[in-house]
Amino acid sequence: MPKTALQSPTGVSPSLLLNSLAGLLHEWLPRQRWFAGKGRPVTGLTLASMTELHPGCLHLLVRAEHAEQATRSGPGTAPADNLYQLLLGVREMLPPYLAPAFIGRATEGPLTGLMVYDALQEPRSAGLLLDRLRHPGAAGPLRFERDARIDVPAGLTPRVLDAEQSNTSLVYGDAFILKVFRRVQAGINPDLEVPRALARHGCTRVPAPVAWFRTSQPQEATLGVLQPFLPDADDGWTLALRSLESGGDFTDEAYELGRATAEVHLALTSAFPVDPPEPHRNKRLAAAMTERLDATARSVPALLPHVPGLRAAFDAFALLDTERPAQRIHGDLHLGQVLWSGQQWFVIDFEGEPARPLAERRRAQSPVRDVAGMLRSFDYAARTRLPWRPEWARRCRDAYCAGYAAEATSDPREEPGLLRAYETDRALYEVLYEARHRPDWLPVPMAAISRLAEPGPAEPR
Ligand SMILES: Nc1ncnc2c1ncn2[C@@H]1O[C@H](COP(=O)(O)OP(=O)(O)O)[C@@H](O)[C@H]1O
Ligand SMILES: O=P(O)(O)O[C@H]1O[C@H](CO)[C@@H](O[C@H]2O[C@H](CO)[C@@H](O)[C@H](O)[C@H]2O)[C@H](O)[C@H]1O
């Protein structure tokens, strides 16, 4: 057991503990990809819950506020409630292998002089977390639960997944993957809710949750989900780039992806209630899209010249008289969310667009939102590789829609006005996402914005 002076922090009051951690977290949080106010300074910090998982390892839920945009409304703006999940280790000395996990040395409060680090990167703590999931039970406000029908062996070697992620995932022995949600919102996370429901309904396109953990403090919320790991799978983004780099064709894969999407959509209509068509739904949705457009343009002024053209796409959508049922969907479908196992496409990450409030992400919506997300993704892939091959994207988009139509009751290409509105809404989300997280990528969705703002076909060109 590592030598630590923190044998039992349960006797330490949260406010005292925060004295020790506040300075360190002010520095560390803004550098994390999952921090909502990435790069912006933390302006307030409170401890919402603290649980000692094992000596020297603290599970914390920390509420952090950041400067700017914290109070604006609209897509992608930070919810008022920014609650983060942290697993912190505390030691007197840090062994070299934990250097990348180092957060800082506490200079105040009860932890003074101790080294604080991200315990998710420590194999011992990661292993103990898996043990908790293997043996359902409680630890303070935390509850560990599992599907008892699936065996999870002891002693699987953990590693942190090296992926550009919104959360942190640990892979255990190439057999299971545990996603630890970093931003925690009240209620069940759709990334647990949806795959569980789909698995119950016999859908084999989604790795079924094996175990999960949640908290009751400061509110009921999902904290992490363990699923089978597909060890030899490549994600769709990697495969698409490979195809572009080799001058290849991706239409067979795109067609199959369309079929897989339609299959998941169909399974979702069995697993969750479907909202029947409702008069004026298009008008209401178009109004919400227009509001998001205005809010996004306030955050990213480069959009301003395109606002009238984009608004026209939403106005045309409002006037469409085909009202469709709404259903649960994926919510953030793109090439990075699908895995090719060698035999079939799997769909992962049902969390929805991470910046939207959870209640909104769990709402029934048009399946066209997902279709639009994937169509945008083909355009994304084509635009990130030179020479630009617009025909590659066009062919993939067409094949994807054809595959979708082969399994579903409708062909997305038959309703261009609907598709254009959802693609525009998605491209606006992407503009905000890139402006915040990867400003170098901003030209990718901006190219689509210029195209979508012009009258005429919405196809990439
Ligand atoms: N069941 C799985 N099998 C294999 N790899 C997976 C699995 N689930 C996720 N991954 C890998 O982990 C990455 C991040 O997962 P994802 O659920 O998208 O996390 P986040 O929501 O944090 O972005 C994926 O891009 C994929 O490469
Ligand atoms: O973290 P998530 O995978 O849940 O999704 C977020 O990050 C994605 C980028 O990693 C972002 O996707 C955008 O870039 C992708 C290429 O990196 C591209 O395939 C997508 O089409 C594009 O939207 C996604 O929007 C965001 O929610």
In angstroms, the CA 80 to CA 44 distance is 12
Q: Which letter, b or e, does each residue of 73-99 get, where b requires 16 or more Cβ atoms within 10 Å of its Cβ?
A: ebbbbbeeebbbbbbbbbbeebeeebe
Position 67 scores a pLDDT of: 77
For residue 227, give every residue at least 6 positions away whose Cβ sits within 8 Å of its Cβ, in sequence order, or none.
176, 177, 179, 195, 207, 208, 209, 210, 348
**Domains by residue range for the chain, with CATH:** 9-121 (no CATH), 126-228 (3.30.200), 234-452 (3.90.1200.10)
How far is residue 109 CA from its own chain's centroid?
35
367 closest CA partner among 321, 335, 319, 415: 415
**Spacing, Cα 334 to ligand 2 middle (Å):** 7
Residue 318 main-chain phi, psi, to 5 deg: -60, -30
Position 333 scores a pLDDT of: 98
CA distances from 398 to 205, 317, 433, 456, 459 (A): 22, 21, 26, 17, 10
Position 233 scores a pLDDT of: 97
In angstroms, the CA 243 to CA 253 distance is 10
Strands 168-172 and 102-105: unpaired
From atom 22 of ligand 2, which residue's Cα is the shortest distance away? 377
Judge whether 82 and 64 are in contact, CB under 8 Å.
yes
At residue 460's C-alpha, the angle toward residues 374 and 264, to 5°, is: 15
* CA-337 nearest atom, ligand 2: 3
Reduced to 3 states (helix: H, G, I; strand: E, B; else coil), residue 51 is: strand
**Spacing, Cα 251 to ligand 1 middle (Å):** 24
Q: Which residues of the chain have pLDDT under 50?
A: 1-8, 70-80
* CA-166 nearest atom, ligand 1: 22
Estimate the crossing angle of helix 251-271 against helix 368-383, to 10 degrees: 150
**Spacing, Cα 318 to ligand 2 middle (Å):** 27
Sign of CA dihedral 264, 265, 266, 271: positive
* CA-441 nearest atom, ligand 2: 14
In angstroms, the CA 331 to CA 324 distance is 17
**Spacing, Cα 135 to ligand 2 middle (Å):** 34
Q: Which of 169, 183, 237, 334, when mutated, tests ligand 2's pocket best, judged by the most ligand atoms within 8 Å of its CB?
A: 334
Judge whether 130 and 156 are in contact, CB under 8 Å.
yes
Position 73 scores a pLDDT of: 38
N- to C-terminal Cα separation, the chain: 60
CA distances from 302 to 296, 323, 338, 432, 449 (A): 10, 33, 31, 11, 10
pLDDT in tens, 345-397: 999 999 998 778 899 999 999 999 999 999 999 999 999 999 999 999 999 99
Judge whether 141 and 10 are in contact, CB under 8 Å.
no
Residue 35 main-chain phi, psi, to 5 deg: -75, 125
For the record, the structure tokens of 338 come out as 């699908």
Q: Which residues face 145 on adjacent strands?
A: 212
Instruction: Record the pTM.
Output: 0.92
Q: Which amino acid is at 249?
A: D
Cα-Cα-Cα-Cα torsion 398, 374, 260, 338, nearest 10 degrees, comes to 130
**Spacing, Cα 153 to ligand 2 middle (Å):** 33
Position 321 scores a pLDDT of: 84
Pocket of ligand 1 (CB under 6 A): 161, 163, 165-167, 169, 177, 179, 207, 227, 229-230, 233, 235, 336-337, 339, 348-349, 351
